[in-house]
Amino acid sequence: MSDFVPDNAAEIPSTPYAKQIATHLGQDHIDRLTQIFVDIGVAQWLEQYPFSRLELTQNVIYDNRLASGVYSYKTGILKIATTRAKSEYGYPFRWQSIYSVSSTGETQFQATQRTLVHELGHHLHAILARMDMEFFMETTRAVILRGGTTYSKNNQLEYFAETFALYVFYPTELLVKDGFGYGMIESALERVGLEVKQQ
């Protein structure tokens, strides 16, 4: 698929994946971007457990710097940057030698979709906290040094989200290199009633 080129459309269309959506994109681009939820088999689950708000914006500022995406465990709001520098994607996957799973996207569009999957991992984690706080707390005690990306070593929340993205896009490598992380994601998915199609 070609690179993702944002529209200048100023509309707030509906989506089955979020209670509200705010975006500068046209419906066609939103549909292309969120197709990843269909591809990995989480679309119906997200209709049952939607984000409270999905913001697709050209840039996301978090902690006074540009970010690819950000998710609030407290509010369920997800913000995704639809543009990013060419230096932030197109890297071959190598265990613990890449910054993030989204940086392995071959195009800006694919990197943005992989960021969506990473942030979906945070949403899954938040839903898990509501359903099984005991297991959620177990995941927050994970040893993050085993994480497959540099970003996963920031903290346990990022370890969970990046491990989820690895489970989706690099399941074999995850299983071989971090069996604990693979099992953690499988247990979390079972507890929230979600099956994921690995890519």
Using alpha carbons, select from 61, 75, 67, 53 the residue that is nearest to residue 118: 67
Residue 119 maps to a domain: yes
Residue 10 maps to a domain: no
pLDDT in tens, 57-89: 999 999 999 999 999 999 999 999 999 999 999
Structure confidence at residue 26 (pLDDT): 85
Residue 169 maps to a domain: yes
Structural domain boundaries, residue 129: 21-192
Contacts of 73 (CB under 8 A, 6+ apart): 122, 125, 126, 129, 157
Residue 46 maps to a domain: yes
Number of compact structural domains in the chain: 1
Q: Within 10 A of 99 (CB to CB), how many other CB atoms are there?
A: 15
pLDDT in tens, 175-199: 999 999 999 999 999 999 999 999 9
Listed in sequence order, the DSSP H helices in the chain are 27-39, 43-48, 108-131, 133-139, 156-169, 171-177, 179-192
Residue ranges in the chain whose pLDDT is less than 70: 1-14
Cα separation, 199 vs 193, whole angstroms: 19
Residue 61 maps to a domain: yes
Residue 30 maps to a domain: yes
Structure confidence at residue 13 (pLDDT): 62
